[in-house]
Amino acid sequence: PEQLDAAITPKTKWLVFNSPSNPTGGAYTRDEIKALTDVLLQHPHVWIFCDDIYEKLVYDGFQFTTMAQVEPKLYDRIVTMNGMSKAYCMTGWRVGYCGAPKQLVKAMTMIQSQGITHTAAVSQAAAVAALNGPQDFIEKNNAVFKERRDLVVSMLNQANGLSCATPEGAFYVYPSCAGTIGKKTPSGQVIKNDEDFVTYVLEAEGVAAVHGAAFGLEPHFRISYATATDVLEDACQRIQRACANLS
């Protein structure tokens, strides 16, 4: 909350809030959100954009909570966004939706209608079927995601120079590679930052990851565990080998 308060200026227009988040998979508890909303109440000129796309992808009993639930006084300043791509596995259908004050939605619709007439009719029908249909598959999918998360976190924490926290949601891990900075690759190149590290892992072992500087937080890198377990295990073994070969 102190960092948020210090970052807000008279020119600040929006706070974009993503929990559970991409790239870390981290999620805010109700108490943590309350601390943020207390700050936002003091800055009535700031609107809040809540990206809730990963709300259903949470593990270990974590309770997802929205800002509007925590602080109803902010209701008229909040835009809540969601979509079908994550929990409903409908990435290619390209359907999203939001809830916001009527006057803002009217302005959004005016702008959007000039570029895109509407979402494809079949995608709209599929989205309605997903939202109104059985939801039990989400829990089953989450159980698989949790197993994959635990596997990846465990294996990355066994790699020399890496440290990986256990995320509460989404399907990403965001390990630190601080322990590899300053080390040399077998070819003699010095690892100076996280971009050097992910480039080395890609070239040496054929594993692609996104360096943390691209997200504004280094030295880290992002890996998605939304793929087959055997692929993840192989990738983590390759990362372990790449780390072991640094000197």
Residues 36, 133: Cα–Cα separation, whole Å:
35
Q: Which residues of 24-55 are buried (b: 16+ CB within 10 A; e: fewer)?
A: bbbbbeeeebeebbebbeeeeebbbbbbbbbb
pLDDT number for residue 76: 96
Residue at which a domain ends, from 102, 132, 162: 132
pLDDT number for residue 119: 87
Residue at which a domain ends, from 107, 132, 157: 132
Q: With a cut of 70, which residues of the chain have pLDDT below it?
A: none
H-assigned helices in 1-48: 2-7, 30-41
pLDDT number for residue 184: 98
H-assigned helices in 114-223: 121-132, 136-157, 194-205
**For the domain that residue 172 is a member of, what is the CATH number?**
3.90.1150.10
Residues 122 and 38 in one domain: yes
* Dihedral sign (CA 167, 172, 178, 180): positive
SS3 68: helix
> Order of strands, edge to edge, in the sheet holding 172-173?
172-173, 221-224, 210-211
Residues 8 and 117 in one domain: yes
Residues 164 and 227 in one domain: yes
pLDDT number for residue 118: 81
211 close to 181: Cβ distance less than 8 angstroms: no
DSSP state of 42: T
88 close to 94: Cβ distance less than 8 angstroms: no
**For the domain that residue 24 is a member of, what is the CATH number?**
3.40.640.10
Q: What is the CA radius of gyration of the chain?
A: 21
Residues 124 and 151 in one domain: no
- Angle between helices 136-157 and 229-244 in degrees, nearest 10: 20
Domain count, the chain: 2
Residues 109 and 220 in one domain: no
Residues 93 and 27 in one domain: yes
Residue at which a domain ends, from 83, 107, 132: 132
Residues 159 and 181 in one domain: yes
DSSP state of 190: B
How many angstroms separate the first and last alpha carbons of the chain?
40
183 close to 164: Cβ distance less than 8 angstroms: no
Which amino acid, 19?
S
| pLDDT digit string, tens, across residues 199-245 | 999 999 999 999 999 999 999 999 999 999 999 999 999 999 999 99
Residues 111 and 155 in one domain: no
Residues 67 and 148 in one domain: no
Q: Which domain holds residue 173?
A: 137-244
Residues 152, 54: Cα–Cα separation, whole Å:
19
**pTM of this structure:** 0.92
pLDDT number for residue 116: 82
Residues 152 and 79 in one domain: no
